[in-house]
Structure 1
Amino acid sequence: MIEKTLITTHGKLRVKIPSQLNEVTLGQMMALQDSPQLGDLDAISILSGVPVTDLRSVRDANDFMQFADAVLSLSHQIKYLYNSDEIPKKLTVEIDQKPVTVNVINNLSVEPAGAFMAARDVIADEITEHVKIYGEDNWKDYFNPSLTACCKVLAFYFYCLATGNVYDEYAASAFTETIKKIRVTEALPIAKHFFMSYPNLSKPRTGFWHRLLQFWRKGRAFNPSKSLNTSTP
Structure 2
Amino acid sequence: MIEKNLATGNSRLRVCIPSHLHELSLGQMIALQNEKELSDIQAISILSGVPANELMQITNGNELLQFTDAILSLSHQIKNLYNSDAIPKDITLVVNNKSVKISVSGNLAIEPAGAFMASRDIIADEIAAHIKEYGEEDWQQYFNPSLQACGKILAQYFYCKATAKPYDEYEAADFFETIKELRVTEALPIAKHFFTVYPNLWTQRTGYWRRLLRLLKNALVYRRSKSSAMLTR
Corresponding letter in the other structure for 1:73: S
Deviations 1:87-130, CA, capped at 9 Å, x for gaps: 11101000111211000144621111111100010011111222
- TM-score of the pair, normalised by structure 1: 0.83
Is 1:152 matched up with 2:163? no
Determine which structure has the larger helix proportion and give its number: 2
Is 1:31 matched up with 2:39? no
Aligned to 2:5: 5
Distance 1:122 1:84 in 2: 23
Alignment of 1:46-125 (within 5 A): 46-106=46-106, 108-125=108-125
Corresponding letter in the other structure for 2:129: E
Aligned to 2:208: none
Tell which has more relative contact order, 1 or 2 (C-alpha 8 A, sep 6+): 1
> Comparing 101-110 with 117-126, which one deviates more in the overlay?
101-110
Distance 1:10 1:120 in 2: 54
Runs of 4+ in 1 over 6 A off after TM superposition: none
Between Structure 1 and Structure 2, how many residues are aligned?
A: 202
Aligned to 2:217: none
RMSD, aligned α-carbons? 1.4
Structure 2 portions without partners, runs of 5+: 203-233
Aligned to 2:227: none
Corresponding letter in the other structure for 1:54: E
Larger Rg computed on CA atoms: 2
Task: Give the match's secondary structure for 1:59.
Answer: coil
- TM-score of the pair, normalised by structure 2: 0.83
Aligned to 1:163: 163
Structure 1 portions without partners, runs of 5+: 203-233
* % same residue: 62
Contact 2:88-2:105 within 8 A present in 1 as well: no
Aligned to 2:212: none
Once the two structures are TM-superposed, the CA of residue 200 in structure 1 deviates from its matched residue by 4.4
> Comparing 16-25 with 92-101, which one deviates more in the overlay?
92-101
Distance 2:192 2:201 in 1: 11
Aligned to 2:205: none
Once the two structures are TM-superposed, the CA of residue 133 in structure 1 deviates from its matched residue by 3.6
Contact 1:151-1:179 within 8 A present in 2 as well: yes
Contact 2:87-2:105 within 8 A present in 1 as well: no
Corresponding letter in the other structure for 1:39: S
